[in-house]
Chains A and B, each alone.
Chain A
Amino acid sequence: MNSGSVSSLLVEAGSLMLIGMVFVFSFLGLLIVGIHLIARFCEAFPGEIEEPSVNVKRNNQAVQPGIDGNVIAAISAAIHTHRHNSKK
């Protein structure tokens, strides 16, 4: 290959290097902004689909409305002691 065409190729490769790096940086830089936006969006609307279903489950199964948590704790403790004593 003669040196004339090589030097023109070199110029082309150099400009490719410049354009390429600028583009890669700006693309990924833009993606940084994008990730921040996604994070902010997710903070602003935190999982409104998942949480209600979890709450519904809890309401149905564990704690029935109208019964105080302390009462349940007291009954559980009583049952536990009773079982413990009857084992002996």
Chain B
Amino acid sequence: MVLWDSTALAHFEAGQLIMMAVGFGLLYLAIVKKFEPLLLLPIGFGALLTNIPIAGFSEAGGLLHYIYKIGIDTGVFPLLIFMGVGAMTDFSALIANPKMLLLGAAAQFGIFATLFGAIALNLIPGFEFTLKDASAIAIIGGADGPTAIFLASRLAPDLLGAIAVAAYSYMALVPIIQPPIMKALTTKEEREIKMGQLRPVSKREKIIFPLAVLFMTILFLPAATPLVGMFCFGNLMKECGVVDRLSKTAQNELINTVTIFLGLAVGSKLSAEAFLTVETLGILGLGAIAFGIGTAAGVLMAKLMSKLSGGSINPLIGAAGVSAVPMAARVVNKVGLEANPHNFLLMHAMGPNVAGVLGSAVAAGILLALVG
């Protein structure tokens, strides 16, 4: 009898079994479908581990409990990832064509519209989102994993698992979600527009740029400096050219190590009592809407800019304004090639794409400052 009591079989609850199935589902998406495998694999495995009865991975004394406490509760992991992303980001397409920042700004409408939508869901019985919850959910529309996790860990730790899973799943689904919206909002002629070649950007401009961004953030939005500061630090390491060793570590070894632990820690939040709620359904639904609205806002802004500039901007590139680097830019390139097989928009789409990363970090800073 004692032996029976020490097996998991005697202690399984229905919720745990369902969550293990969710974990397996994430592993399936990662391994077979290759959806964001770098994150969904550790998240899926973390979900398996945390739902093992008796083992207590996520209770005080358990491994995942400590990883979560150290890395996510403190906000350290997403910030380290952001530093690595900064060290991998090349801003030259944006510096060559700074107007693209407007597209990155427009696409953030997805975030704020979703905030409104999440509060409106409260009218349906069963949903009780506070303004903090709604802000954390809305940031899914920023299409930026580390930003979403950082904000959720600050504003709504209880919803973190669902928010992270929604953010990464939809980022993987960008090639499916975006093209129909892009095609619906543009005409074939607009999709065929070719864009002029970008000017070369000097090394010095690339070095000054992260410092300028940081300086502006310090002045106007100190709440965003954890995110923007780490991002600019990573980017400066890459561009200055004197600390190649540090830059390589930030964009390879360090970000990989942190990704493993970040994924496991997020997975540990996928426990039955936290995830199997009607709110999770709401979060998944709102996340998809956030992505859609962000894409649409970006495309419409690009259309407006195209009209004003006399047709020298292809409206498709607006869709890349929802960060999700570099997937969104690749999708733009692909849709552009479908309309005109000689039209390569990848470099032009990288501008709004990296602008979107800055835009969502700024939006996160605003939410932290006003709601947090």
Contact = CB atoms under 8 A, between A and B. Distances in A.
A35 B111 contact: no
Interface in A19-66: 19-21, 23-25, 27-32, 34-36, 38-39, 41-42, 46-47
Given A3-B123, A17-B113, A12 B362 contact: no
B362 A27 contact: yes
Nearest to A46: B202
Contacts of B17: none
Nearest to B112: A17
Interface in B84-124: 94-95, 98-99, 101-102, 104-106, 108-109, 111-113, 115-116, 118-120, 122-123
B331 interface: no
Contacts of B67: none
B216 A30 contact: yes
A24 B119 contact: no
Contacts of A41: 208
Contact of A20 (B127, B209, B363): B363
B116 A39 contact: no
B212 interface: yes
Contacts of B203: 47
B112 A34 contact: no
Contact of A6 (B108, B119, B205, B220): B119
Contacts of B123: 3, 6
Given A28-B101, A28-B355, A36-B98, A20 B202 contact: no
B355 A13 contact: no
Contacts of B202: 42, 46-47
Interface range for B: 35 or more
B323 to A, nearest CB: 13
Contacts of B212: 31, 34-35, 38
A16 B355 CA distance: 21
Contact of A39 (B95, B127, B367): B95
Contacts of A12: 119, 131
A14 B108 CA distance: 15
B105 to A, nearest CB: 4
B83 interface: no
Interface residues of A, number: 31
A58 to B, nearest CB: 20
A28 B359 contact: yes
Contact of A24 (B127, B213, B363): B363
B98 A20 contact: no
A34 B358 CA distance: 14
A41 B205 CA distance: 9
A9 interface: yes
A80 B136 CA distance: 72
Contacts of A29: 101-102, 105
A28 B131 contact: no
B366 interface: yes
B204 interface: yes
Nearest to A32: B98
B119 A13 contact: yes
A79 interface: no
B119 A27 contact: no
B362 A24 contact: yes
Contact of A32 (B102, B128, B134, B208): B102
Interface of A: 1, 3, 6, 9-10, 12-14, 16-17, 19-21, 23-25, 27-32, 34-36, 38-39, 41-42, 46-47
18 contacts: A12-B119, A20-B112, A20-B115, A20-B363, A21-B112, A27-B105, A27-B216, A27-B220, A27-B221, A27-B362, A28-B358, A29-B105, A30-B216, A31-B101, A34-B212, A34-B213, A35-B95, A38-B208
**Which 9 pairs of residues, A with B, have the shortest CB-CB distance?**
A17-B112, A35-B98, A28-B101, A13-B119, A28-B105, A32-B98, A13-B116, A20-B112, A6-B122
